[in-house]
Structure formats: C-alpha cells, structure tokens
C-alpha cells in the first residue's frame, strides 16, 4: 500500500477489503475525503493536521479518484457509506456509538440498522444538533464503544472524532457525512447507474439544486489545482 499526496493531504490507496482489514486492526480515525475537504484543508491548518494524523484517509468519491489519476495513481474510490456499513457488520455484537443527523433521522436509522444487524450492540445514540460538545464527547467516551460513526458533516465530524481520539485510543471512528440520512430511508441514495459511473454528486445536485452552488464551482477548480500541482 502506498500513501499518495494530493494537494497537501496524504491519501491511502488500499482496495476496499484491505482498507477494512487495516481499519479493524489499526483502529483510530478514518477520514473519507472529498475535494471540498481538501480545499478546506488548504486554508485551515488545524483541519490539515487532523487529516495528517488520521490513521486512514480513504478516497470517498470520483473527484478524489480523478485527482489521483491526474497525478498518475490508479486508485479505486471507497464510498464512505459502504465502508461504514461494512464496519457495522464487522463489529456486530461489539459496542457501537452513533452520533449525528436530525433526531427523527437517527431514530429511523437505528430502527433500520437493528433490522439489518440483529446483534447490533448500540451503547450510545445521539443526534447531531447538540449545544454542549464536551458533554457529548464525555458521554461517548464513558460508554466505551469499539466503533463510533459520526455523521455531523465536515469538518465538524472530523473535529469531533479528533477530540475523542485520546479518550478512546482503541476505538475505530469514522466520519460518515450524510450516511444516516440515507440509512434512515428519508434521503434516497442515487440509483445504481449513477453510483457505478461515480456520478452520485450529479444525482444529488439534480435532486437538491442548492447543492449546485456549493459543489459545481468546487470540482473544476479542484481539477485545475491538481493540474497545476502536476505541472509545477
Ligand atoms: N449534521 C449534524 N449536525 C450539524 C450539521 C450537520 O448532525 O451540526 C448532519 C446532517 O443532518 C446530515 C450530516 O450531518 O445528516 C451531513 O450533512 P451534509 O450533507 O451537509 O454534509 P456532507 O456529507 O455533504 O459533508
């Protein structure tokens, strides 16, 4: 396995199964990275430091896969939502904490996951709209989960996990973005054809046009930056 640098951040190039095995044995923080996060890391040193110290950084989407390709690395993306689901299966019976999303969403997510994983052992469940972060960090650490999934959006989920790391050094913790929205059944995942083509972002943008303003300018700019890095 190789760690390759893309716009200042080191990204791991495991295939899906090897990433799963590595995460299970290594534990610590998993960052599922996308172009927006790389962009943010260039402006924010604290966030860049979190990525640098993560035990595993996986290329979540087609944007990062494309960026790596431009630099000559053929790496397959690992969708964070699939990686996290696999971890729930791997950790069946072990203590798990779920933190994030709106109250009704996390409630539905728990219901659905319990149906899917009969031995799911949830020791802590908390929605993502809390005021007292220290309290939630403390409560999470107290329940001693072996797996933490944080769905707080980025950079909040990465900061939250980073703050938990020294309190739970043997725990695997993954920032999972909008995964609970999908698992709850409230937000549908893009149809398979979009997934296969790596065009989930396009599907989501069509469904939710306000994302367009956020995502669309970011992608070409990201590609330009990578090209600049390649030629410099
Ligand atoms: N979220 C949260 N607390 C917050 C902000 C966001 O729990 O303070 C949740 C939000 O409800 C959603 C998830 O974080 O379930 C991801 O949000 P978004 O889609 O904006 O982030 P992305 O995955 O695009 O980074």
Task: Take residue 29 and report the two structure tokens written for it.
Answer: 């923080």
Q: What's the pLDDT at 218?
A: 76
Q: What's the pLDDT at 217?
A: 74
Ligand 1 centre to CA of 22 (Å) is 27
Identify the residue whose C-alpha is closest to ligand 1 atom 1.
152
Rounded CA-CA distance 127/140 in Å is: 12
Identify the residue whose C-alpha is closest to ligand 1 atom 18.
153
Q: What's the pLDDT at 17?
A: 97
Q: Torsions phi, psi of 104, nearest 5?
A: -70, -30
Identify the residue whose C-alpha is closest to ligand 1 atom 25.
153
CA of 127, closest atom in ligand 1: 7
Rounded CA-CA distance 187/181 in Å is: 5
Whether residue 100 has its Cβ less than 6 Å from ligand 1: yes
74: which residues sit within 8 A by CB, 6+ positions away? 68
Query: Which residue ranges of the chain lie beneath pLDDT 70?
Result: 1, 214-215
**What is the tens place of the pLDDT at every residue in 38-96?**
999 999 999 999 999 999 999 998 899 999 999 999 999 999 999 999 999 999 999 99
116: which residues sit within 8 A by CB, 6+ positions away? 88
Task: Take residue 40 and report the two structure tokens written for it.
Answer: 């943010």
Asked if residue 155 has a cis previous peptide bond (ω within 30° of 0), the answer is yes
Instruction: Choose the residue to mutate in 154, 178, 208 for probing ligand 1, maximizing ligand atoms within 8 Å of C-beta.
Output: 178
Q: What's the pLDDT at 133?
A: 98
Kindly write down the DSSP assignment for every residue of the chain, as one continuous string: --EEEETTEEEE---HHHHHHHHHHH-EEEEEE-HHHHHHHHH-HHHHHHHHH-SEEEE-SHHHHHHHHHTT-------HHHHHHHHHHHTTTSEEEEEES-HHHHHHHHHHHHHH-TT-EEEEEE-S--S-HHHHHHHHHHT--SEEEEES-TTHHHHHHHHHHTT-TT-EEEE-TTHHHHHTTSSPPPPHHHHHHT-HHHHHHHHSTHHHHHHTTHHHHHHHHHHHHHH-
CB 62 within 8 A of CB 199: yes
Q: What's the pLDDT at 225?
A: 94
All structural domains of the chain with their residue ranges: 3-231
């Amino acid at each position: 396995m190789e760690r390759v640098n893309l716009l200042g951040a080191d990204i791991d190039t495991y295939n899906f199964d090897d990433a799963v095995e590595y995460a299970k044995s290594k534990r610590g923080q998993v960052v599922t990275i996308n172009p927006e996060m790389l962009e943010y890391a260039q402006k924010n040193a604290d966030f860049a430091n979190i990525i640098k110290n993560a035990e595993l950084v996986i290329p979540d989407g087609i944007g990062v896969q494309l960026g790596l390709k431009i630099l000559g690395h053929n790496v397959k993306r690992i969708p964070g939502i699939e990686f996290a689901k696999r971890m729930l299966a791997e950790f069946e019976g072990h203590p798990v904490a779920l933190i994030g999303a709106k109250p009704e969403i996390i409630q539905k997510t728990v219901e659905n996951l319990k149906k899917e994983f009969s031995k799911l052992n949830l020791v802590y469940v908390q929605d993502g709209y809390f005021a007292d972060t220290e309290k939630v960090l403390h409560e999470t650490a107290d329940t001693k989960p072996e797996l933490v999934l944080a769905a707080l959006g980025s950079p909040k989920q990465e900061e939250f996990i980073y703050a938990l790391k020294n309190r739970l050094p043997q725990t695997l913790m993954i920032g999972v973005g909008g995964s609970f929205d999908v698992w709850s059944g409230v937000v549908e995942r893009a149809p398979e054809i979009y997934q296969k083509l790596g065009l989930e972002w396009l599907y989501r943008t069509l469904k939710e046009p306000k994302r367009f303003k956020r995502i669309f300018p970011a992608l070409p700019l990201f590609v330009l930056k990578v090209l600049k890095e390649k030629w410099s």
